[in-house]
């Protein structure tokens, strides 16, 4: 039995079944919540936000990346290495594919002042369920200790409990359509 993969499958299925219009509304609300929270970080200029280019059903958005870039942040997005560890590139605009930007190296995430991560589910203790590659387990180990690390989730994906393995790296916040929630972990 593999509990993690059962939870992944059921959330992925629910995300696929979500009507496009509902997904757009949720993504826009998440974008608003992120922008409100980063406004409290201080001046954007020079600050680095590690984020991600969303897959089709994920709660992140290109509009979020564009809004953060327009606000003056340097936005980094991951490139997956053959061993599933993460390299990073600067996200420029929807028209300049990140695959063509120069790779900054695995340690580029060390410069992040805020990290937004993909997840299928998170528990109140910060346990995070990802896609199963261990990519973020490795990348989050390089993030400075005081940096906010937030997973973007749809409503209903903050679960009472998420199975954890010894290598799992927790998040300290979640962003859902109803706002940014510090987990207090």
Ligand X SMILES: Nc1nc2c(c(=O)[nH]1)N(C=O)[C@@H](CNc1ccc(C(=O)N[C@@H](CCC(=O)O)C(=O)O)cc1)CN2
Ligand Y SMILES: Nc1ncnc2c1ncn2[C@@H]1O[C@H](COP(=O)(O)OP(=O)(O)OP(=O)(O)O)[C@@H](O)[C@H]1O
DSSP secondary structure letter of residue 119: -
How many angstroms separate the Cα of 117 from the Cα of each of 58, 60, 69, 111, 174?
A: 11, 9, 17, 15, 9
Nearer to ligand Y, 63 or 137 (CB): 137
Using CB under 6 A as the binding rule, whether residue 130 contacts ligand Y is answered as yes
Nearer to ligand X, 42 or 93 (CB): 93
Binding site for ligand X (CB under 6 A): 52-58, 78, 80, 86, 118, 130-131, 133, 135-136
- Indicate the residue whose CB is closest to ligand X: 135
The residues pairing with 49 across neighbouring beta strands, listed in sequence order, are 75, 114
To ligand Y, the closest distance from the beta carbon of 154 in angstroms equals: 16
To ligand X, the closest distance from the beta carbon of 183 in angstroms equals: 20
- Over the range 75-109, which residues count as b (16 or more CB within 10 Å of their CB) and which as e? bbbbbeeeeebbbbbbbeeeeeebeebeeeebebb
User: Judging by beta carbons within 10 Å of its beta carbon (0-12, 13-18, 19+), is residue 21 exposed, middle or buried?
Assistant: exposed
Size of the site for ligand Y (CB under 6 A): 14
To ligand X, the closest distance from the beta carbon of 12 in angstroms equals: 6
**Can you tell me which of 40, 100, 145, 167 binds ligand Y, judged by CB under 6 A?**
167
Nearer to ligand Y, 32 or 110 (CB): 110
Provide the binding-site residues for ligand Y, judged by CB under 6 A: 4, 129-138, 165, 167-168
């Amino acid at each position: 039995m593999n509990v993690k993969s059962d939870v992944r499958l059921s959330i992925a299925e629910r995300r696929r079944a979500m009507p496009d219009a509902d997904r757009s509304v949720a993504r826009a609300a998440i974008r608003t919540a992120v922008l409100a929270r980063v406004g409290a970080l201080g001046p954007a200029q020079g600050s680095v936000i590690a984020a991600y280019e969303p897959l089709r059903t994920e709660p992140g958005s290109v509009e979020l990346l564009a809004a953060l870039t327009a606000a003056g942040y340097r936005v980094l997005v991951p490139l997956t290495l053959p061993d599933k560890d993460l390299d990073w590139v600067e996200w420029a605009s929807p028209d300049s594919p990140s695959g063509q930007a120069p790779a900054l190296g695995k340690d580029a995430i060390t410069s992040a002042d805020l990290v937004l991560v993909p997840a299928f589910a998170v528990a109140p203790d910060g346990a995070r369920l990802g896609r199963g590659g261990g990519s973020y387990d490795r990348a989050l180990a390089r993030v400075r200790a005081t940096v906010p690390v937030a997973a973007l989730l749809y409503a209903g994906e903050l679960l009472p409990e998420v199975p954890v393995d010894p290598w799992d790296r927790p998040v300290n916040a979640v962003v859902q359509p109803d706002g940014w929630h510090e987990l207090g972990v």
